Structures are given as C-alpha cells and as structure tokens.
Amino acid sequence: MTTTRLLAEPLSADFGLYLSDTRTLAQRQSPWQHIEVFENPQFGRVMRIDGAFMTSERDEFFYHEPMVHLPAIAHAGVRRALVVGGGDGGSAEELLKLPGMEHVVMAELDGAVVAMAREWLGSIHQGAFDDPRFTLRLGDAREFIATTQERFDQIVLDLTDPFGPAVELYTVEFYSACRSILNPGGVVSLHLGSPIHLQESMRRIGASVRAVFPIFRPYLQYVPLYGTLWCMAMASDSTDPARLTAAEVDARIAERGITDLQLYNGATHHALLAQPNFVRAIFAQAAEPLRSGDVLADVRDPAELPPVVVTSG
C-alpha cells in the first residue's frame, strides 16, 4: 500500500480542503512565516504560507485578474500603482499588462516570499520582478505609506488573512493612510474573505472601508485553490465600476490593448459585481469598523485550529 502525502487547510473548525503534494520543491522558515512550494496534479506549482494555500500556477487568474483589472478598467488610466503584499508577483504582473503603466511599487514585508516566487513561480510573475517599471520595497508597508512622497492611481492590497499583526492592514487607520497617497479618482482593491464562513470579517472590513471612502463596491469570485466563494472589493473617492456597461468595459480593454486575460471581460465585470441576496444581507447588517488593536472573532490562525488528519491508501 502506498500513502499519498496530503496537505489540509482548515478554513474553519468545521470546514476545509486538501491538496496532494506530489513533490515538495522548496520550503523555508523566514523570520515571519513558513513558506512552501510544492507540485499538485490539479494546480501545478502551489505556494503555501503558514499552512494556507496562497496561489497556484493554474488558478491564479481567478484571483489576480479581478483584483487588478476591475478597478483598473474603471479608472481613466492607471499610470502608477502600489501593491501591498503580493510577494508571488501575480498582482504586479497583471498591473504591468496595462500599456500606460509607468511604475509599479510592491511593498512586501517578507523578502523570502519574493525569493521563493522568483525561483519557482515564473509562470505567475512572468518576469515582473525584472521589469524596469517595477520597484520592490521590502519592509513594513505602513511605514512606506506614511513616508513616501509618491502618489498612486491604484493600490492593490494583496494581503494574507487578517489575523495576528496583519489585522492592522484592514483598519480604518490603514485605509485612511492609503487614501492619503492616492491621486484624485484613484482606486483601491482588497479582499474581505469568504461569505460562506467569514461573514463577520466581511461586515467589519467593509465598514472600515466605507468609513474612509465614499464609493465601496464588493464583488465575488470563486477561487478554486481557496475552496470557496471569495469576496473582493474596490473603493474610491469618485471612480465607480458599476457605472460602466459591459460594452464600455470591452471597449476599454480593446482601446488600451490589454491582452492575455483568462477571466475578465465586460460580461464578467458585471457578473463579479452582482450580489446574491444573502451577500446583500451581510453588508446590510450594522458592523463596527476595525480600529488599530482590534481582532476579528471569526478569523483564526490555521495553527490554532484543531489538527487535521487526512489519509489516503
């Protein structure tokens, strides 16, 4: 009897998913987290951080394209962008598809994630780290945002889940700091978690964004690697993606010469923004915005969840 190595990620105490690891390519313990890259027959190369599946070669576009292109197309023309987190390079690669892009800055805490992605996830970053328009800023993104003199048209908050120190990047204070470095009409995109098992997080993060930005548009996408429906959102002082028709979205994609899109187009733009009734109900409930020092009750470090044992004979 042969035993297959299976890696499980508990999404809550009662729900999760597993992937087979046919070959571990690399693993490393950085000062902040444990990073792995392994091969899976369904997803190709997969990056896992602290036990959570982050991105894969074959499904990364389900996440990266909506995070980047829905807000970018709504904007009049993004030229300067900031990625907070995003060490796998997927968001930067999507931003660099925009023909008018002049400069992409990535503020990433952990250089080990970038190094692992550079070596093993070339099909995701597509050489973005070596593009002359790209700049990597290693360190605390809050410090970078507080001190930079640069101004951006788009900010992509491509972050780990909001537990531990990362919660500080989901607060009213942080969103206010982001707004302060946006040009007029600038756009911010972020993820809020799953409406299936992280409803309190969605409400509170949404309330935090709405406390800062007058326009807040949640949108939904199923991400296969995450095993669940995922909620993202964009925010702005004046740019609203809901104002565009499907034909206008397709026209902007064509006019701007954006290619190699596997998911995003005019029809999916509106499908992403469509909210089922149960999601409308989540955001309709009153919620307290997150402030510095707060925690989210429904988000837990995977290491704190009950151990998961998966066997295959």
Model pLDDT for residues 140-179, shown as the tens digit of each residue? 999 999 999 999 999 999 999 888 788 999 999 999 999 9
Model confidence at 311, pLDDT cuts 50, 70, 90, reads: low
Q: Which amino acid is at 192?
A: L
Q: What pLDDT sits at residue 312?
A: 55
What is the overall mean pLDDT for the chain? 94
Q: With beta carbons less than 8 A apart as the criterion, state whether 234 and 217 touch.
A: yes
Q: What pLDDT sits at residue 301?
A: 64
Report in angstroms the alpha-carbon separations of 224 from 42, 60, 63, 121, 254.
10, 9, 9, 18, 28
Q: What pLDDT sits at residue 183?
A: 98
Q: Comparing 1-5, 19-23, 87-91, which segment has the lowest mean pLDDT?
A: 1-5
The residue with tokens 């949108």 is 219
Convert the pLDDT of each residue in 237-288 to its tens digit.
999 999 999 999 999 999 999 999 999 999 999 999 999 999 999 999 999 9
Q: At what angle do helices 266-273 and 246-255 cross, to 10 degrees?
A: 130
Convert the pLDDT of each residue in 182-238 to its tens digit.
999 999 999 999 999 899 999 999 999 999 999 999 999 999 999 999 999 999 999
Q: What pLDDT sits at residue 11?
A: 84
Q: Which helix (H) or strand (E) holds 12?
A: strand 6-12
DSSP designation for 272: H
Alpha carbons within 13 angstroms on the beta-carbon side of residue 294 total 20
- 158 catalytic per annotation: yes
Convert the pLDDT of each residue in 106-135 to its tens digit.
999 999 999 999 999 999 999 999 999 999
Model confidence at 2, pLDDT cuts 50, 70, 90, reads: very low
CATH architecture type of domain 60-255+269-283:
3-Layer(aba) Sandwich (3.40)
Q: What pLDDT sits at residue 20?
A: 94
Q: Is pLDDT of 67 > 80? A: yes
Q: With beta carbons less than 8 A apart as the criterion, state whether 149 and 272 touch.
A: no
Q: Of 131, 158, 250, 294, which is the active-site residue?
A: 158
Q: What pLDDT sits at residue 303?
A: 61
Q: Which amino acid is at 225?
A: L
How much is the average pLDDT of 2-23?
Answer: 84
Distance CA 87, CA 144 (A): 16
Per cent of the chain over pLDDT 90 is 86
Report in angstroms the alpha-carbon separations of 86 from 3, 108, 114, 196, 226.
34, 7, 9, 24, 16
Q: Comparing 48-57, 76-85, 131-140, 299-308, which segment has the lowest mean pLDDT?
A: 299-308
Q: Is pLDDT of 300 > 90? A: no
Q: Is pLDDT of 38 > 80? A: yes
